[in-house]
Amino acid sequence: MQISNAEWQVMRVIWSKEQTTSKEITHLLQDKLHWTASTVKTLLTRLVAKKFVTTEKLGNRFLYRPLITEEASVLAMSQEVSEKVCTKKIPLVIMDLIQQNDLTAADIADLMEALQAKEVVTTTACHCLSGNHQC
């Protein structure tokens, strides 16, 4: 999934709205990110080209809808992290995510259930480049 951090911000608005206009996206992100309408339109053009978003002309405006769900995107991002990080460092990533984010009691219960159901292995194979790792 090749999506930039800026494109991700636009996608988050589109996912939350389910369908929206560039004007609405600009309005919602302007205070937080100080983006202009042209910046948002450039990012939308990229997202349409990458087939993350579809667009439909309605009168003098365009309506944008997601072509991929937020859940599918999060899972793809998780897979990317798994491919980029040494397998021996994955627990560090998971622990950092847990420590850096607020979790409800239900979230923690789900995590504990997933950990308890996880098959235990005796060793984790490293997939770093030969001679280039410090595992």
DSSP string, 1-40: ----HHHHHHHHHHHHHSSB-HHHHHHHHHHHH---HHHH
Residue 133 has pLDDT above 90, yes or no: no
CA 14 to chain centre: 13
| Cα(55)–Cα(61) distance, integer angstroms | 10
Q: pTM of the full predicted structure?
A: 0.80
Closest CA to 54 of 16, 5, 20, 29: 20
pLDDT score recorded for residue 29: 92
- How do residues 87-114 score in pLDDT, each as one tens digit? 889 999 999 999 999 999 999 999 999 9
- How do residues 11-41 score in pLDDT, each as one tens digit? 999 999 999 999 999 999 988 899 999 999 9
Q: In the chain, what are the domain boundaries?
A: 5-66, 70-117
CATH code of the region 5-66 = 1.10.10.10
| Cα(48)–Cα(69) distance, integer angstroms | 14
